[in-house]
Amino acid sequence: MENWVLVLITFFIALDYGVNTFVNFLNHESSKKPLDGDSQKLYLEDEHKRSIKYAAANYKSAFLSSTLFFIIFVLALTYNWFATLDNTIRERLSDNSGYFSEIIISLVFIGSLAVISNLISLPFGIYNTFKIEAEYGFNKSTPKTFVLDLIKGLILTLLLGGGILTVVLWIYQELGNLFWFWGWVLVTSFSLFTFMFGTKLILPLFNKLTPIEEGELQDEIKKYCDSQGYSLRKLFVMDGSKRSTKANAFFTGLGKSKTIVLFDTLIEKLSTREVVSVLAHEIGHYKMKHTFWVFLFSNVQTFILFFLLGWLLRYPELSTALGATEASFHLSALAFFLLFSPLSMALGLFNNALSRRNEYEADDFGRETYDGKALAEALRKIGSGSLVNVSPHPLYVAVNYTHPPMLDRLRNLGK
Ligand SMILES: [Zn+2]
């Protein structure tokens, strides 16, 4: 049977790579469409040309990176690299008595894969930031910021990811069949924690958050916030300009932990009315309880995922398909995630569709409670300022876009 599992895994990886490459290609072609009546609202001829070149540069870089990962995966499956890595770690770390030795082996195995995949991605990260983003005038990240981000990210992953994983592995060792349920409870509690306190505890490690400065903008924001019963203390300006000139804003958190963050680049580029209209959009997310639904759906999905994982971990064929002689948690879990790539793609389609629907609702809220024209103008400035693709392919939108395409949003606001 293990051969069948291996055939399925290889087929799904190839399918995933094939579908994504095809969809990216369609999008690349679609982005070159000449300007028409609608898209002229966003770009002049010159800007449009620049946006096409920018999209093409990103397309090529993404194609190289995904192709490299695909080749490495196929080689790893063909030559049993995963089992070899597992054996190497076992030889060095196994001791006869060790209650913890299986947990440590799993941790080192998963940690090694994470390090290797980060090392492969690193050159692409450097190229995208310091070549593509810099060439189009977006990059503000210095090498120092870039390296510090990497180190901080690594420490966070090690502490939080490593910590959670250790407990999951311990639960697996202790509870066996009930593992999937308690594993899910643990992961859900942790994601609730980061949802509630992420902006307070994690975001400040990377960015400075400050209350909005006194002045005309603060007055106008206060007036709008008061009319909506939203506390000004839950609103911050973030130094997005530390890394990029692109403007943005977001809403996060649940209940009392709600937070709206406006990038300093947004305030710099937009008029007072436009900034407040973006704020109205974000308050729309809060009023419509979007984060609650996103949180709920994502936990229903992890529930299904843990259930299937718990069920399939009983079959040693998952591990042996990757070339191992004995079953282990980490090899089976790896085979599981590879096997479920079609399911995770389907879930991604659903999540993106939900997110795009929420964006329309938040736009509608902004139009109804403040100013639709100002919001449209703000979106136009944000979009053209970051050289968005004005004519993305619908399939690419379905697979990748959490926000509706710019022209669709402008059309919706103009209704
Ligand atoms: Zn939004």
pLDDT digits (tens, 9 = 90+) for 251-304: 999 888 899 999 999 999 999 999 999 999 999 999 999 999 999 999 999 999
pLDDT at 97 over 60: no
257 CA to centre of ligand 1 in angstroms: 18
pLDDT digits (tens, 9 = 90+) for 307-329: 999 999 999 999 999 999 989 99
Q: Which distant-in-sequence residues (6+ apart) come within 8 Å of 361 by Cβ?
A: 284, 288, 290
Q: What is the pLDDT of residue 216?
A: 95
Residue 166 and residue 107: Cα distance in Å, rounded?
Answer: 7
* Band of residue 369 on the pLDDT scale cut at 50, 70, 90: very high
Under the phi-then-psi rule, with left for phi > 0, alpha for psi from -120 to 50, and beta for the rest, what region is 252?
beta
What percent of the chain lies above the pLDDT cut of 90?
88
- Cα angle 246, 119, 331 (rounded to 5 degrees) comes to 115
193 CA to centre of ligand 1 in angstroms: 22
> In this structure, are residues 252 and 196 in contact, taking their beta carbons and an 8 Å threshold?
no
188 CA to centre of ligand 1 in angstroms: 24
399 CA to centre of ligand 1 in angstroms: 18
Residue 300 inside a domain? The answer is yes
Residue 61 inside a domain? The answer is yes
In angstroms, the Cα distances linking 134 to 129, 188, 199, 335 are: 6, 39, 28, 39
Residue 9 inside a domain? The answer is yes
187 CA to centre of ligand 1 in angstroms: 26
Q: What is the pLDDT of residue 297?
A: 94
The beta strand positions in 161-211, using DSSP E, are 209-210
90 CA to centre of ligand 1 in angstroms: 47
If you search the block for the tokens 């001791």, which residue do you land on? 95
pLDDT digits (tens, 9 = 90+) for 177-233: 899 999 999 999 999 999 888 888 999 999 999 999 999 999 999 999 999 999 999
Residue 229 inside a domain? The answer is no
CB atoms within 10 A of CB 20: 18
Q: What is the pLDDT of residue 37?
A: 84
Residue 100 inside a domain? The answer is yes
131 CA to centre of ligand 1 in angstroms: 29
Q: What is the pLDDT of residue 2?
A: 59
381 CA to centre of ligand 1 in angstroms: 16
Q: What is the pLDDT of residue 323?
A: 92
282 CA to centre of ligand 1 in angstroms: 6
315 CA to centre of ligand 1 in angstroms: 43
Tell how many helices (H) and how many strands (E) occur in the chain.
Answer: 19, 4
14 CA to centre of ligand 1 in angstroms: 34
Q: What is the pLDDT of residue 98?
A: 67
User: What would the mean pLDDT of 128-150 be, rounded to a whole number?
Assistant: 97
Residue 270 inside a domain? The answer is no
Residue 392 phi/psi, 5-degree rounding, is -70, 155
With CA atoms as reference, report the closest residue to 402 among 362, 354, 352. 352
pLDDT at 130 over 90: yes
Residue 209 phi/psi, 5-degree rounding, is -110, 125
Residue 191 inside a domain? The answer is yes
Q: What is the pLDDT of residue 176?
A: 83
Q: What is the pLDDT of residue 95?
A: 65
Residue 342 and residue 330: Cα distance in Å, rounded?
Answer: 20
- Cα angle 315, 319, 323 (rounded to 5 degrees) comes to 140
Identity of the residue numbered 237 = V
pLDDT digits (tens, 9 = 90+) for 153-181: 999 999 999 999 999 999 999 988 899 99
With CA atoms as reference, report the closest residue to 31 among 410, 405, 376, 412. 405
Domain that holds residue 395: 2-207+288-414
3-state helix, strand, coil in the chain (%, to 5): 75, 5, 20
99 CA to centre of ligand 1 in angstroms: 48
| Mean pLDDT over each residue of the chain, to the nearest integer | 94
Q: What is the pLDDT of residue 415?
A: 79
Neighbours of ion ligand 1 (CB under 5 A): 359, 362
Residue 226 inside a domain? The answer is no
Structural domain count, the chain: 1
pLDDT digits (tens, 9 = 90+) for 102-112: 899 999 999 99
Residue 142 and residue 146: Cα distance in Å, rounded?
Answer: 6
Q: What is the pLDDT of residue 96?
A: 55
pLDDT digits (tens, 9 = 90+) for 37-95: 888 889 999 999 999 999 999 999 999 999 999 999 999 999 999 999 999 999 888 76
